A and B are shown apart, each in its own frame.
Chain A
Amino acid sequence: MFLINCPYCGERDQSEFSSGGEAHIERPKQPTELSDDEWADFLFMRKNIKGVQFERWNHSHGCRKWFNLIRDTSNDKIHGIYKMGEKPPKV
């Protein structure tokens, strides 16, 4: 349970947001050339880090916009927020 500072709406309770999981997983540029292993890697395998992790979140009960969050998963402290398409700030 924590507060998230939505880049569009300001600080709101986490329950207004939906987690979109690990950020910066790029869809393969040439999907037809991918092996089964590479597809499995893209679709299913996750870093699932205990510590600082880059994530996508959606303000689903607010402005409904997506953005990125840098969060320490061991204590839920947030270290940075940036919009989609922006470069992640240094942590």
Chain B
Amino acid sequence: MKNKYSIFSLFKNAFSGHENWQRAWRDPEPKKEYDAIIVGGGGHGLATAYYLAKKHNMRNIAVVEKGWIGGGNTGRNTTIIRSNYLWDASAGLYDHALKIWEGLSQDLNYNVMFSQRGVMNLAHNLQDVRDLKRRTHANRLNGIDAVWLNTDEVKKFCPIVNTSPNIRYPVLGGTLQRRAGTARHDAVAWGYARGADELGVDIIQNCEVKGIKRNGNKIEGIETTRGFIKSKKIGVVAAGHSSVIASMVDIRLPLESKPLQALVSEPVKPIIDTVVMSNAVHAYVSQSDKGELVIGAGTDSYVSYSQKGSHDVVEGTLKAILELYPIFSRMKMLRQWGGIVDICPDASPIISKTNIEGLYFNCGWGTGGFKATPGSGDLFAHTIANDEPHKLNAAFSLNRFVSGDLVDEHGAAAVAH
């Protein structure tokens, strides 16, 4: 049983110099067999394990992770959370996640620093205005909060935005989802890992999957760098490397893996208390609690697993940032990184069974998976435990690429997820 985190535990540990905190999760040796194995210890994988244990009472499960917990895209993204998607299926999926976010810190007994500071999406041309207004209406019909702001209201909500009509892409208005915001990404990974571990889930780090063993059409287990592990159910949540895992069982997925870049500035005093996104010029920015500006750039146009992005992508984003926020012109960028994201042709995820019995895939989150972490884990756990999708992820099956029922969010979602 884990000690509960509270103000009292903080006091107690402060008196002993913070040297006696209990370990947040174990470092177990892999067992010979599990009832289910989750491949990939990112936020989505850990959340899946947590909800499998908590809601579906599957306690003999493991999460295998090639690197370490919090070392992948979960620990280096722009942490934006919102649910203002156009289509009903996406609205259902992302708002399900947003509702879990609202109570997540209490549920996990771990402060994920979820902050509903609002997300504003700017419009820079007439088509943007039409699209964003349409999206606002669609959101409200789905019970998701959304309002349209004119240029003056944009300026009032975020005074540092340059609303001059003389810039190359002037701000013609924007939408605002007040329930949206940010969370602390590391804490999400650590909180889910701690929660899953407490429920008996084995989190096995430094354990790379090398092969998947199957007998006919049934899954038998995985070959890893730490030996063979038997299991009849395998859930793959490997983000940018999903196609690599799928190729082990000769499956091709509708995915392309590309580097997505983000960067943070040197820390400064509070200057922007919300998240502002702009799709037309591809710039989005928020400020972390440490004071750094967190800036999201785009993906490269080509497939790459190199974890390096192109300089011209960063340059394009920073040009847009400078035009929209002249106040940032003398700031220095502290660091930049590229994570590999798996993008579907319709920019919607896949949470699905496969043609192989006992093999499930949760992938295709592309550039915007962080916001969905709790919902994705919850729905994937449901899919694995019941061997059929929940009604909220039924539309996100692999089969939609055969039937043609795509959930086309490419133009509809704020492009920068």
Contacts and interface: CB of A to CB of B under 8 A. Distances in A.
A15 B401 contact: no
B301 A50 contact: no
B383 interface: no
Nearest to A44: B254
B303 interface: yes
Interface string B234-269: 000000010110010000111111000000000000
A1 interface: yes
Interface string A13-40: 0110011010000000000000011011
A45 B304 contact: no
B303 A45 contact: no
Contacts of B309: 1
B402 A36 contact: yes
Interface in B282-328: 301-306, 308-312
Contacts of A15: 310, 312
B345 interface: yes
Contacts of A47: 243, 247, 252
A46 B255 contact: yes
Contacts of A36: 402-404
Contacts of B310: 1, 14-15
A44 B401 contact: yes
A26 to B, nearest CB: 15
Contact of A44 (B241, B243, B345): B345
Interface residues of B, number: 27
Q: Among B253, B309, B401, find the residue whose CB has the most chain A CB atoms closer than 10 A.
A: B401
Interface in A36-57: 36-37, 39-41, 43-50, 53, 55
Given A14-B310, A37-B402, A47-B247, A76 B254 contact: no
A5 to B, nearest CB: 16
Contact of A45 (B241, B254, B404): B254
A36 B309 CA distance: 36
A53 to B, nearest CB: 7
A12 to B, nearest CB: 13
Given A15-B310, A37-B402, A76-B308, A48 B303 contact: yes
A50 B254 contact: no
A76 B401 contact: no
Nearest to A51: B305
A43 B312 CA distance: 29
A48 B257 contact: yes
Nearest to A48: B243
B306 A76 contact: yes
A50 B253 contact: no
Given A1-B311, A40-B402, A46 B253 contact: yes
Given A41-B252, A44-B345, A50 B312 contact: no
Contacts of B253: 45-46, 48
Contact of B303 (A39, A44, A73): A73
B373 to A, nearest CB: 23
B256 A21 contact: yes
A43 B254 CA distance: 9
B250 to A, nearest CB: 11
A41 B310 CA distance: 30
Interface of B: 241, 243-244, 247, 252-257, 301-306, 308-312, 342, 345, 401-404
9 contacts: A19-B302, A36-B403, A40-B401, A46-B254, A46-B256, A47-B247, A73-B303, A74-B305, A76-B308
Q: Top 10 closest A-B pairs, CB basis?
A: A19-B302, A48-B243, A44-B254, A45-B252, A15-B312, A40-B402, A1-B310, A44-B401, A50-B305, A40-B401
